[in-house]
Amino acid sequence: MRKVIYVSVVRLTDKMAADWHIDYLRERGVPVEYWDIVALVREDHHERGERNSQWRIVLRSFAELEARLRLPENRAALYVMLLSYAGRLTRVFRLLSRHDCRMVQFASGALPQDPAFRWRKIAAWLTTPGRCADEIASRLKASALRRLRLVKPFAVTFAAGDLALNGSSHTAKVVAINFFDYDRYMELKAAGSGRATAGRYAVFLDSYLPYHSDLPFVGYQRIDPVSYYGSLNRFFDLLEREHDLRVVIAAHPRGDFDAATFAGREIYRLRTAELVRDAEFVLSHGSTAMSFAVLNGKPLIFIYTAGMAALYERSYIRAMRCYADYLDAVVCNIDEVTDASRLCVDRVNAACYERYKYSFLTSPQSEYMATQEIVWREIQAQ
């Protein structure tokens, strides 16, 4: 059976193993390795739920990576690239191409994009000549490597949603799949599993914002946690009083909280699908987990704090407004809310939700199939 090697710039966690079908493939007898190349592109760190399995290989230099590629048992492997083809990461793709490796990618987890935001981002680069030059050089290099065929096309691109299906290029084959949140939604729908918590509640989709390990990697400043959580808890207090319900927390998988962080509120890890399904409405900064609100037809309210606006007005907040526009949802600065009874908590535009579902989460070709079975079929065919 063909060996499958995952190459990733993210630590192997319990959620990664489930979302990217690693556990499923191993259960089917597929020899799997997970090559952790975090040290090649970013700072060292640990994640909650991190696994230290014997098949996880931590590589700390490009020389170590190349030595692994030279091993006879890896020459016929299928390489699943859990990293984007961009910037400094192109060196990884170039190295695998030189060794004639068969590469696979997942085009999933996309979010709505505002074209105006893209041009503003370019304008921001132009105000910092050094960064602008680096960005232009990086993009030109990435494009040239592909045009000159110094980076191989992907053997397969697994694409979730119509935008990914229609936008995938530099690949020999495009296969329709579902985003993993869609698969989880369908599993729960079929199983009819019980509630995560009883009673009326709203759920906050936590982003682990002050401490997320990706912030330095993407160039975001860290927000002050005291003022951030203070703003959230004050707002949650208002909601609870005005709407006669509780606010519970769907913790980010990497999040590690004590009870005081959210003023004693219930915190659940890896139960987001169930929590959203049974919630009255959903609060979010904007993440792929908002797909559960879309699939369950739940009102979605995008929230941010004054501290977030000060740091991320042209980045994170602008993206959040784009998501809200796409879904015809409410967006608000919670530090400006004094009367939560006036906040619209029942707004759902079914047409916008349906458009989002087929643009980013699934497609008519795959919506009644389990992605793990599609992936298994294609691996056997390679």
74 and 172 housed in the same domain: yes
Confidence of residue 132 (pLDDT cuts 50, 70, 90): low
Segment 261-269 mean pLDDT: 95
Give a yes or no: residue 85 inside a domain. Answer: yes
209 and 175 housed in the same domain: no
Domain enclosing residue 71, as ranges: 4-112+149-179+362-381
212 and 313 housed in the same domain: yes
d(CA 145, CA 90): 9
The pLDDT score that the predictor gives to residue 7 is 98
pTM: 0.90
Read off the pLDDT of residues 287-325 as tens digits, 9 standing for 90 and up: 899 999 999 999 999 999 999 999 888 888 898 999 999
164 and 262 housed in the same domain: no
300 and 367 housed in the same domain: no
Strand order of the β-sheet with 174-177 is 56-58, 32-36, 4-8, 78-82, 102-107, 156-160, 174-177
Segment 10-17 mean pLDDT: 94
219 and 271 housed in the same domain: yes
d(CA 99, CA 65): 11
174 and 301 housed in the same domain: no
CATH number of the structural domain spanning residue 280: 3.40.50.2000
Confidence of residue 117 (pLDDT cuts 50, 70, 90): low
- At 22, is the secondary structure helix, strand, or coil? helix
270 and 219 housed in the same domain: yes
Domain count for the chain, please give it.
2
Please say whether the dihedral angle defined by the alpha carbons of residues 84, 88, 89 and 93, taken in this order, is positive or negative: positive
Give a yes or no: residue 127 inside a domain. Answer: no
Q: Which of 189, 102, 185, 86 is nearest to 145 (CA)?
A: 86
Q: The tokens 């084959």 sit on which residue?
A: 173
Residue 312 φ/ψ, nearest 5 degrees: -125, 20
DSSP string of 145-184, one letter each residue: HHHTTSSPPBSEEEEESHHHHHH--SBS-EEEE--HHHHH
153 and 259 housed in the same domain: no
